[in-house]
Each structure stands twice: as C-alpha cells, then as structure tokens.
Amino acid sequence: MDFTLDRIVREFMVDDLGLDAIDRRYSRFLSLAISGLRDLYYDNVGGLIKEVVLDVNDDDTVSLPSDYIDYHAIGGVKNGQFLSLGVNNNYADVYKDDCGDKITPTNETDSIGYITYYSSRNDLGEDLGRHFGTGDGYSSIGEYKVYRDRGYIALNNSSATQIVLRYKADIESVDGDFIVHPFNVEAIRAWIWNKYVSRSRSHNLGQIQLADKAYKEAKKKALRRHYAFNINEFVQAWKTGQRSSPKL
C-alpha cells in the first residue's frame, strides 16, 4: 500500500493522538504534513523529481517549467542513453539584436561579454579536441548555464532541438493523495508531532524540545536512507573507472 499524505495524517491522528475517529482537525494536520514534506524536500531529503522533454527556442534558450526549483541533470538521449550536457558557468547571458535575434559569440572576447571559445576542427568540421575557455564541464554535445531568475537555460555549442530536463519540482499543489517516499514517512509524522506539541499549551518546554529532537533525528535517518552507500554501485563505478595502461 502506498504511503499517501492522507494515510500518514489519519494514522497520526489514531496512533499518536489516540483518536477513535478523524475529526475536524484533519485539515490542520494535513497542512502540517505538507509543510513537513516541503521542509524535507528543500533540504534534499527525497523529493519530487520530474523528467520532461523541452523544445529549444530559436535563440538557443530553453524555457524553464513554471514549477522548476533546481535541476538534477540536463542533456539529451542518444541510442537509448542519457547524455549530459556540460555546465559552463562562464557562459554569458543571451544577447539579442534589435530584431530579437541572438547575437552569436565570435572566437574572440567581444564587447558584449562573451567568454573566448577556441576549438580545433578540420576542414570537414570534425572536432579534433583541444578546447580552451569552455568552462568547467565541457561536453561534446554542448554546454548550458541555467538562469533561474530569468526563467531559461542558455545553450552553447549545441545543435539539439530538444533537451531532457530532470529537475526538482515545486510541491505547492500537493494534496492528501500525494504519495510519500517510504523513507520519509517517519520524518513527516515526527514533524507533525513536533509542530503539534510546540503549539499546544498542555506541553511543557521539555516535551517541546524532545519533539524537536525526535524530528531532527528522523530527518537525519531519512537522509541516510536516501543516500545509503550501495556496494554494488561502488563496484560498478570502480570497474568503469579502471583503464588499461599501455605497456612501454
């Protein structure tokens, strides 16, 4: 059975508060559960990850989704595999001329602030490597820089017409049917109890401090579970990283 916010709230009211039936306080506890989910989410303890395919605009930008918070990966799909674009935080903002067309950077730093970009190609346009000034994450399929405050991703040296964006989405619109990751259930219940105790006149300072401590411990446990070390993943990564050296 899925752990929905509705189920968590109902179990809290019955198990933690000892109620025989769900009363009018349900809406208040559901609101607390949502705020607890948000607290976990903003601290990267699980969360709602979306994957969407977005069109590239004519000016080599990609508009960010309205519920975008932060990205996990930006790239494309080729031969059934996800290929990540390289992040280039040196890439300047997108500049446009009077007609609204993008001004393309040249191979020299120009007056509008583009970073110098050098690449070696032969007469057939084939990439020979030796890239300089390309930022901190060069990729053969292109680069990007996210301008969250302006609502777009700027692409550089990419011929893609679409990109794949894996991102953390806002949870403002969630309701009782929202499915919670099993690792986060205990932390959300501890959050509800913590807020309930802290706002109740029948609980003293010591009880409030214990409830706060219990939530912090449940949150840490959830974080450890999400990022638990997987020995199989380590072995695979280690094998992938090994390369045979030429014998001299």
Give pLDDT tens digits for 92-117.
665 555 665 655 544 443 333 333 33
pTM: 0.56
DSSP string, 28-80: HHHHHHHHHHHHHHHTTSS--EEEEEEEPPTTSEEEPPTTEEEEEEEEEEETT
Whether pLDDT at 123 is above 60: no
Instruction: Find the distance separating the first CA and the last CA of the chain, reported in whole Å.
Output: 60
Give pLDDT tens digits for 136-172.
444 567 889 999 999 999 998 888 889 999 888 877 7
What residues contact 20, with CB distance under 8 A and at least 6 apart?
Answer: 14
Residue with tokens 């000892």: 18
